[in-house]
Structure formats: C-alpha cells, structure tokens
A and B are shown apart, each in its own frame.
Chain A
Amino acid sequence: MYVWVKIVSVLLLTSLMGTWSLQASDRAFNLGNIATSQQVKGWDIDVRPDGVGAPIGSGSVFDGEEVFAEQCASCHGDFGEGVDRWPELVGGEGTLNTHDPLKTTGSYWPYASTMFDYIYRAMPFGVSQSLSYDETYQIVAYLLYMNDIIDDDFVLSDQNIGLIKMPNQDGFLLPDPRPDASTIDGNPCMKNCDVPVKIIGKARDIDVTPED
C-alpha cells in the first residue's frame, strides 16, 4: 500500500541529500522548550487510517442517531441529506463516474479515521472540539450505518476504527502522475497553429458573476 511513498521519497531525496543530516546532538541554537507528555497529549488529536491516535472510547449507531440529531442535523439533515448549501453526508454510491458525482462520507471518503479526526477537530461548525470522544464515535457510527457500511448493532471504538473498510478506499491514485497534458519539449507552436478559435461559450451569457 505504501510502495508509492518510497518512490516519492527516492525521487525527492536525491536532490536534498546534502541538507538532511539532523542528529540528536545537533541542537545548534538552544531555543525552545521540551514539551511535556501532558502538553503533547492535549494537542495531539489526529487519528490515522490505521487507528493510530484514536482516543479511548466507543459509540453505538443507536446513540449516534440521537447525538447526530442534536449536534449535526440542523445543517446536514436528520439523515445526512444536507440542508441548503451544507454538505450531504450520505448517498452518492455509483455517481463518481457520472457527470454529476456526489462525494459523501459513504461514496468518497477512503477512511473512517478521517471522519473521526475531522468531526472531533472541526465540528460542530463554530463549536469545534466540544464533542466528547464517545459522542464522536457515536456520530461516526451513525454515519457509517446510514451509508450501509456497518450494521445497526455495531459499536465503533478506538479498537476497530482502523479496521473499517470504506467503499471508496481503493478509489485514489498515487503518486501524482502529472504533468499529463502538455508539450514539455519547450517548443510550442508559434505560427499558423492548428487550434479551434470558435467561441463556444461566454461567461456573460451564464450570468452568475457578482455585480458590484
């Protein structure tokens, strides 16, 4: 799974060999303070796909329905369908290769860990980091259930969040294959180039530009 990491590393490393030699004794400036484990614990809130960093806790689908209704539904709808311009969280299966793709936690997000990480750090919008760990597990469990990823009796926890297989987990391509569509020989056409010059669309006709 992480073969591409090595590829990227090798490519980049060759140009940086000279600058990268950081050793334990090499503390040149004596600036800053050693962080205590308590200080780190308070700020180190991220959760990785393999579950590393997931705080101890758990949450059921059943409890999640209630928390979601209280904390999330005013923007995302009772069933994650989205209210006004706020994002839909459920549905969209089979739409990614259509003209109208719907990217939700169910159809697009590759890892359940990302849902926990993001909801805990950034939601509810404007009241971030106010949910408890258990409430966060509950909300993620409810979303996974609504997206048909887990059954209604599932209890999500720090022990199993790294094991959830998301439908679109294998939907991402690495490494970056660009540049992909251009002359890279440095000799673009200068005279009598064969390019289409017919006007096929005008922004003025679309008429969505803000007016002062």
Chain B
Amino acid sequence: MKFNRRNLIKSFAALGSVGFSTRVLAQDKPNPNNLPPNLPEWTPDLGAGVDENPYGSPSQFEREVIRRNVPWLTASSQSSVNFTPLQDLEGIITPNGLCFERHHGGVAEINPTDYRLMINGLVDREMIFSLEDLKRFPQVNKFYFLECAANGGMEWKGAQLNGCQYTFGMVHNVQYTGVKLSDLLRETGLKPKAKWVLAEGSDTSGMTRSIPIEKILGDCLIAWAMNGEALRPEQGYPARLVVPGWEGNMWVKWIRRLEFGDKPYMTREETSKYTDLLTDGKARMFTWVMEAKSVITSPSPEKPIHHKGIQQLRGLAWSGNGKIKRVDVSLDGGKNWTTAQLHAPIMAKSLVRFTLPFEWRGEELLIQSRAMDETGYVQPYIQDLQKIRGKNSIYHNNSIATWLVSKSGKVDNVRLG
C-alpha cells in the first residue's frame, strides 16, 4: 500500500503539483488586470446583500484553511481525529469551525430540549439538570486550551508528518461560557467519602473518564458556549466538561452524567488508552497534565519563506500548569537562543502568541521554539523524553520540534540527533 502511494505521489511530483506548494502557488499569481492602474473586477458590480449569508463564512479565498485528517491513522472516520490548521491562524483564539475534532463514535446530535445532566453516587441528593437549569447558575467566561494527549504522538520515533497542522494541530483555544462545578455541586451536596468523579458522555461511545474531586471542584466547568456561541455539535453540543490544563480526552463532550465515588473507575480510556508504556513494559497511568509546549506556526512546512529580508516568525505556546513565562527561539538548531515577544493577553492554561522578527539572507536554518512556564518548567527535547519514556509512548510528547528552512525557502519537519 505504501509503495502504491509513494508511486502515486511521485507521478504527481513529475507534473509539478504536490501538496502545500500547490496551495501557495495558486494564491501567489496575481491577475494583472486587477492591479494598478487597472480597475479591479470586483469594483464595478454590486456584491452580495445582507440576506445572502445569514450565518457568515470565511472568504472563498480562504477555503484551504480547514481541519484535515490523516486517513491511515484510524479504521473509521467516526472514531478518528482531525487537526486544527494552526499555521493559518493569528492571535490565540481558534475559530469554532477550525477546532480539531476527536470522536470515538461520531458526533451526537442532541436537541437541547432533550438534554439532561445527571449527578449521582456519593452526593446528598441525586439530581438531574436541564440545559435551562444550567444556564440559571452563576456563569464564568474563561479562555482555555484543549490539547489531545496524543498531539505529536506520531513524532515519538522520528520526524514523520511534514506539517505544522499534523504534528501540532490537536490543540485549540476558545473562550468557554459555563458553570463552575463547585457552584453546581452546591445543589447536590457531596458525601465526605466522595473522592473521584466519573464523567460520562451520551454519544455512542459513552465516553468515560475518572477525575479526582479536587480538580473537579478546583477549576472544572460544565460549558455550553464557545467563543460566544453555542458549542458546536462536534465539540459536545449542548454541554461539555471543561478540565483546564488536562488532556483533552477528559473534557467529556455531550456530557450526560457525573457519578461520585470513593475510587477511580478504571475505564477503557484511562487503562488501555491514555497510559504511557515505558521500555520495561510498565505503563504510567493518570498522566493528566499537558505540560509546557510551543510551536512555530510560520515559517513551517505549510508556510515556506518566499522572500529574503525581514520575516515575522510566529508561534504559539501553552502550559497546563499555569501561565507561559517566556519563549525562546533558535535559528541554528538550539545552539543559540533569542527570547521572543509574548503578546497579551497571557492567561493561565491558554494559548499565548509569540513573535520574533528576523532577517533571512537565503541561508539554511534550523528553527526551534522552547517554552517556559511560570513554574520554571522548560519544554524538553525529544531525546530527554525518550531517555525516560522510551519510544513506545503515544501520549504527552511536548518536545521541541525542528523546522529546516532550506535555501529555497522550503520548510521541512526534521529530527536532529
């Protein structure tokens, strides 16, 4: 199969149209009739009226800015993942339609009138809440990143996927509106023996994860809105769990139930999946926190350099342990570093934008970014992680990536060693 694929790609390559370069070339050819001193074609005619597109969509010229998947990764598109096009985004907010999706049984379509959240187990009162009930509680509005524990998982053994989107795109950052569980649980009360919560989704996979009660009462939310509008169906409409800073699998979508107990439930997702197999055959369990990480979104494999001279290197950094304190950038493979500019707002457990201008004279570069959070934790190299965790890990790869900028301006995902 791989051989066929390779041959196919080679034959396309011979025609001179492969992958990312196609997209870039299409946008790079101006029509001289639209340039000064000519009258551009869009000027004389009336454009679309206000009723044409009651729910707006991006410009037709941005149609390449979409979520993408890697079809060979999974057996079915209903139990699969796609990736946020980080390389095409600015600032720190991920547009709702570009937030990566990870489903285990496809998207549940729930009429909000039929939505119920059940809270049972070691509580004083077992209760059921409608969506309208939830919205009558005091609300909070908070920005948080959500990163899949498997983001970068294909890169454990070496540089494998040639794109910022495919290697870092299982992360998104939105503003959530919801109710704090510490407020919601004042209605049910908690028994002193309650130590763990089972969060359960109402999709066909019945997604379940165990969460310690301290986290639930600390900063977890039941959210019904993202970036000012109702949650998208693929993000858990009408309500999802928000578990700030912790792996995305725990942010149960389409949440239908919270059960309180005195022990963890050891669900499929926290035993056979989302555990980290070490070289000795033992596996780490309950590795919840998404540690500090960063990525250079441009230049990147999808964003080659087209011109010599001034460049604006752009990137994103985040930490599940708090605020990002600093991001350093290297252009020579990690030998020398320069501290990048962080752009406000800098919020805990949220993406942070960094930029660094640099001059490119057409030389080869090995560009890297290195995040540091407020705890002093510094983003590691993959070799540091491999020393401890081996190469059979799938999850929690927060290592520094390297983009090779070649003399032509083309950019490649490479592994240094």
Contacts and interface: CB of A to CB of B under 8 A. Distances in A.
A114 B268 contact: yes
Given A176-B287, A199-B414, 10 more contacts: A16-B217, A27-B189, A40-B118, A108-B271, A178-B289, A186-B325, A196-B417, A203-B161, A207-B9, A209-B163
Interface of B: 2, 5-6, 9, 12, 18-20, 22-23, 64, 68-72, 74-76, 78-79, 104-105, 118-120, 124-130, 133, 136-137, 158-163, 166, 182-183, 185-187, 189-190, 195, 198, 200, 204-206, 208, 212, 214-215, 217-218, 256-257, 259, 261, 263-268, 271-272, 275, 277-289, 291, 301, 325, 328, 332-337, 366, 370, 372, 375-381, 383-385, 387-389, 391-392, 396, 404, 412-417
Contacts of A84: 75
A19 B75 contact: no
B232 to A, nearest CB: 22
10 contacts: A34-B126, A114-B267, A117-B265, A125-B105, A175-B286, A176-B284, A193-B337, A202-B162, A203-B162, A212-B68
Given A43-B257, A172-B283, A203 B272 contact: no
B266 A114 contact: yes
A8 B215 CA distance: 11
A12 B196 CA distance: 13
Given A34-B125, A176-B286, A192-B335, A46 B265 contact: yes
Nearest to B190: A22
Interface stretch (A59-67, A94-102, A152-160): A94-102
Contacts of B204: 122, 126, 128
Contacts of A204: 162, 412-413
Interface in A159-212: 171-186, 188-193, 195-204, 206-212
A9 B196 CA distance: 10
Contacts of A192: 335-336
B160 to A, nearest CB: 5
Q: Which 7 A-B pairs have the closest CB atoms?
A: A97-B281, A85-B75, A12-B214, A186-B376, A197-B333, A121-B206, A96-B281
A172 to B, nearest CB: 4
A201 B159 contact: yes
A56 interface: no
